[in-house]
Structure 1
Amino acid sequence: MSAAMRTLAFLALIGISSSQTPDCSYLRLLNHLNLPTTNSALSIMRPVKNWTTTTILKLDMWLYGILEVDEKCQTLTSHVWIQMSWPNEFLTWNSSDFCGLDMVTVPRSMLWTPDIVIQEDASDSGSIHKGDYHSLMSSGRVRSNIRQRLTSTCRLNLYRFPFDEQHCNITFTSTTYQEDLLKLETYNNDTVLAKVSEHIMITQGEWQLENIKVTTDPWFHDGENFYKLIYMVKISRKPLLYVVILIIPLFYLLVLDLASFFIHEARGEKLSFKVTVLLSISVLLLILQDMLPSTEDALPMIATFCVSIFTMVGLSVLEAMVVIFLIDFDDFIGKKVQSCDNAHVDTQMDVIQNEPVGAEEKGEVKAEKSYLPLDWPKDGDLLKLILEEVRAARQEVGKQDKVKKKPSYYRKLAEIVDSVFFGIYLLTFLSFLVWMYVNWFRNPN
C-alpha cells in the first residue's frame, strides 16, 4: 500500500514539473520588455531614466581597406567598419529567468539610435550600409554595426611626393546631443585598433597604414559644447613606381647631358643631342602634371627637381649654341684671311707676268755680270716658280685637318667658355643632388 502511494506521488510530481516547464522563446522575452506593442517612446527618446544622466557611447572604427587617395580632389576613400554600443536603461532582464538568454536582435526602427556623423564625410548615401537590426544585451546595452565606403576630405601635404606621409582625420560627433548628454569613447585603445586594422586590411593599393591614434576634443557650435571623437590615420605612400618612371629617368637624362660635354663640336651632334634631352624632360613634366594638383600652395620637391633639371639642360643648350657660334665665327674669319692672302699672291704673280722685258732678255746681258749656269731660269721665271710653290704649299696646308691648326682667338674663347661652364655645371649638379637628398629623403614632413 505504501509502495503504491509512493508511486502515485512520484507520477504526480512529474506531471506538475512537466506542466511548469519555462517558456524559453524570444517572444516571451520581447513581451516581457514590452517591445511587440507600439512603443514609439523607445525610438525617439534618449534611453535614460534621469535626463541628467550622460549616455556613454563607445565607438570603434576598423579600417578594412585604403581604396584611393585623390591628390587633385584632396580626398581619401577607404572601407571602414564602425561598431557602436550604448546603454538602454529601460530594456534589461535577468538572463536566468529566460533559460540563460542574454541577447536578442531588435529592428533598428524600434530603438533609439544616436545621430553620429562624420565631419569629413564626402561620400554619397548609397555607400553606407547600416544593419537592419540592433543587438540588445541582457544588461541593457545596445550594439550597432555600420559598414561604409567612406570618402573623406583630407588636406594632403605633397611637398615630399612620392616619399610623403599623410595624416587624415575621421571625426565622429553628434549634431543634436551636447557634451553633457552624450559622451564618445572607444572600447579598444588606438594600438589595438591599428594592429587589428592592419591585420584585417584587404587592400591598400599604393599606400601603407602606419598607425591610428584616437583623441577626444570638445567643439563649440552656436554657443553649445559637443563631443568629438577623432581618429587620426597616418598612411605612407609606396614610392617605388614613381622612382622608376620619374626620378631615375630624370637623373639619367641629367647625367647624359653632363656627358654631352665630351662630344666634339666639329661633329655637329652636340646641340641636337642636348635638344633631344630637353624634349625628353618636357614629356616627363607633362606626366607629372597629370599626377599633382594645380592648387598646391608649396611647390612639391619632385616639381622642383624636374624644373631645376629642365633649367640646367636649357642653359646647357644655350651654352652649346654660343660655343658653336664662336667656332663658326672663327672659321669664317680664317677663311676670309686666307682668301685675302691668296688674292695677294695672285696679284703679285699678275704683276710679275706683266712686267716689261728687260735688257737682259734682249741679249744685252753683260757676260761679266752673270755668274749663274747657262740653263738657270731667268729672274722673272724664278720668282714665278717660287710663288707657284708657295701657293701650292698653302693649298696643301688648307687641305689638312683643321684640328692641327693652331686655334685662333675665337676658338680659344669657345674652349674657355666650354671648360668654365662644364666646371660650373658639374658643381651645380653635385650640390643639387646633395640638397635634394637632405630635403627630400632625410627631412620629415
Structure 2
Amino acid sequence: MSALRTLAFLALVASSSQASDCSYVGLLAHLNLASTNDLLATMRPVKVWTTPTLVHLDMLLYGILEVDEKSQTVTSQIWVQMFWTNEFLTWNSTDFCGINMLTVPRTRLWIPDIEIQEDTSDAGSIHKSAVVKLYPNGSMFATTRERLTSTCQMDLLLFPFDTQECNITFSSMTSDENTVQLESRKRGTALTEVSDHLMVTKGEWELQNMRIILRNVTKASKSKLIYKVSISRKPMLYVINLIVPLLFFLVLDLASFSISEARGEKLSFKVTILLSISFMLLILQDILPSTEANMPMIAKYCLFIFTVVGLSVLEAMLVGYLYDLDGCCYKTAQSPADAQEDIQLEVDNQKEPAGAEGIPDKSSLPLDGPVDGDLLKLILQEVKAARQEVDEHKDQRKTGRYRRAAVIIDRVFFFFYFLATGVFVSFMNTLWVSHIYNK
C-alpha cells in the first residue's frame, strides 16, 4: 500500500513539473534549438542519408506587372510556399501543454536551396520570411515573396491577340535527384483559381491557367518542378491605336481616287497618308522585338498597307504626269502659221478704217444699213470662232490619247487595289477572329 502511495506521489510530482514547463523556451531546449546548432543548420535533416528529402512547393501569382516584348522578359509578383520534413525536430504536443506549432529563425535550420532558373531579377527583390514554422511531426513551412523578372520565349505571331506561355522552373542548385525531390501539393487548377482571386494587378494581361510539370534531368540528375503560366493579352488598346487607324488610312487612300487630277490635291493627300503610316510603323517598332524568323501578323498588316499606299502614290504621280503631258501636247499642237494668222486677225479686228478719203460720205449710205467697218468686224469674228471650233476638234483627236491612257491606268489600278485590299483584310480578320474564339 505504501508503494502505491509512493508511485502516485512521484506521478503527481512529474505531472506538476511537466505542467510547469509549458513554454516555447522549454520546447526549444528539448529540440536543442535554444542555442545555435551548426549540425541542424548545415546538414540535411534525415536519419538515413540515402533517404531523399521531399520538398513540396506551391507557387501563387499575385500580379503581372510588366511584359517586355523587346527583351523577352516578364515581371510578376509571386509567393512561394515550401514544405519539407525534418526528422530530428519532432515532439509530442501533449508533453508541452498542446503546443502544435513553433517558429524558428531561418538561420538555425537547413533550408532547401531552391532557385528559379529563369530568374533575372536582383537579390533585393527577394523577400524571404525570417522564421520557419515547425510542427510536431517534423513538418516545416517556409515562404518567400519575390518580384520576379523571368525570361520568356514569346511567340508574337498573332500580336496583339496573342497568348504567351512562360516557364518558371524550380530546382535545387546543389542537390541532385537522390538528395532533394520536388513536388507540388496542389494541382494547377487550384493554384490558378487562388492566384486569380488574389491577384492585385494584371495590367494589359490576364491569367489563363497554370500547369505543373515534373521533370528529372538525367544528365544533371536534378529534380525540376516547372510551372507553365499562360497569360493572354487584352488587345483593345492596340486595336484602337494601331489596327483601326491603319485601316482608316487605307480607306482614305481608296477614297482619294475620287479626287480630280485637275485640282492638284490628290498627290499631296496620298503623300500625307503615307507619312502617317510611317509614323505608325515607328510606334510598332518600339513594341516588337527585332526578329526575322517569325514576323508578327500585325507587321505584315502594316507592311501591306504601306506597300499599297506607296504604289498608289507612284500611280498618282504617273497619272499626273500623263495629264501634264497631254496639256503640253495641246499647247504645242498649233502651228506657228496658225498662231501668226490669229494674231493678224486680232490686229485687223482692232484696226480703225482708213482715212476719210477712203470712206464714202455718210449722206450717200442708207440710213438704216450698217457701217462697213462694223460689218467687217462681224465677219472676222464669225470666221475666227469657226476656225477655233475646228482646231479644238482636231487637237482633241490628236492630243487626247495621253489623258485617255491616264484614265484607263487609274481605273485598272483602282480595281486591283480594291481587290487586293479586300482579300488581305478579310484574311487578317478571319485569322485574328478565329484565334480569339479558339482561346
Distance (Å, rounded) in 1 between the aligned partners of 2:14 and 2:50: 47
Assess if the C-alpha contact under 8 Å between 2:73 and 2:150 holds in 1: yes
Q: 2:224 aligns with which of 211, 222, 228?
A: 228
Residues 181-260 of structure 1 aligned to structure 2 (within 5 Å): 181-220=179-218, 223-260=219-256
In the other structure, the counterpart of 1:271 is 267
Relative distance call for 1:320 and 1:32 in structure 2 (3 A) is: same
Relative distance call for 1:124 and 1:418 in structure 2 (3 A) is: same
**2:309 equivalent to 1:309:** no
Distance (Å, rounded) in 1 between the aligned partners of 2:370 and 2:323: 47
**2:438 equivalent to 1:442:** no
Deviation at 1:16, TM superposition (A): 6.7
Q: Deviations over 1:357-387 (max 9, x none)?
A: xxxxxxxxxxxxxxxxxx9999xx9999756
Assess if the C-alpha contact under 8 Å between 1:345 and 1:387 holds in 2: no
Q: Deviations over 1:140-162 (max 9, x none)?
A: 01110000000001111111111
Q: Deviations over 1:189-209 (max 9, x none)?
A: 000000000000000111101
Structure 1 portions without partners, runs of 5+: 1-11, 353-374
Relative distance call for 1:431 and 1:176 in structure 2 (3 A) is: same
In the other structure, the counterpart of 1:108 is 106
In the other structure, the counterpart of 2:29 is 31
In the other structure, the counterpart of 1:52 is 50
Assess if the C-alpha contact under 8 Å between 1:342 and 1:391 holds in 2: no
Relative distance call for 1:19 and 1:154 in structure 2 (3 A) is: closer
Q: Deviations over 1:57-98 (max 9, x none)?
A: 000000000000111111100000000010011111111111
Assess if the C-alpha contact under 8 Å between 2:267 and 2:317 holds in 1: yes
Tell me how large the CA RMSD over aligned residues is: 3.2
Relative distance call for 1:405 and 1:203 in structure 2 (3 A) is: farther
SS of equivalent residue, structure 1 residue 241 = helix
In the other structure, the counterpart of 1:367 is none
Relative distance call for 1:432 and 1:84 in structure 2 (3 A) is: same
**2:414 equivalent to 1:418:** no
Moved more, 336-345 or 425-434: 336-345
Deviation at 1:337, TM superposition (A): 1.8
In the other structure, the counterpart of 2:355 is none
Assess if the C-alpha contact under 8 Å between 2:58 and 2:82 holds in 1: yes
Task: Give me the TM-score of the superposition, normalised by structure 2.
Answer: 0.85
Moved more, 180-189 or 228-237: 180-189
Assess if the C-alpha contact under 8 Å between 2:329 and 2:399 holds in 1: no
Deviation at 1:23, TM superposition (A): 1.9
Assess if the C-alpha contact under 8 Å between 2:330 and 2:399 holds in 1: no
- Identical aligned residues as a percent: 56
Distance (Å, rounded) in 2 between the aligned partners of 1:156 and 1:182: 31
Distance (Å, rounded) in 2 between the aligned partners of 1:111 and 1:311: 66
In the other structure, the counterpart of 1:362 is none
In the other structure, the counterpart of 1:147 is 145
Deviation at 1:392, TM superposition (A): 3.5
Q: Deviations over 1:97-141 (max 9, x none)?
A: 111111100111111111111000000000000111110000101
Structure 2 portions without partners, runs of 5+: 1-8, 349-368
Matched to 2:382, the amino acid is E
Relative distance call for 1:321 and 1:396 in structure 2 (3 A) is: same
Matched to 1:28, the amino acid is G
Distance (Å, rounded) in 2 between the aligned partners of 1:253 and 1:205: 29
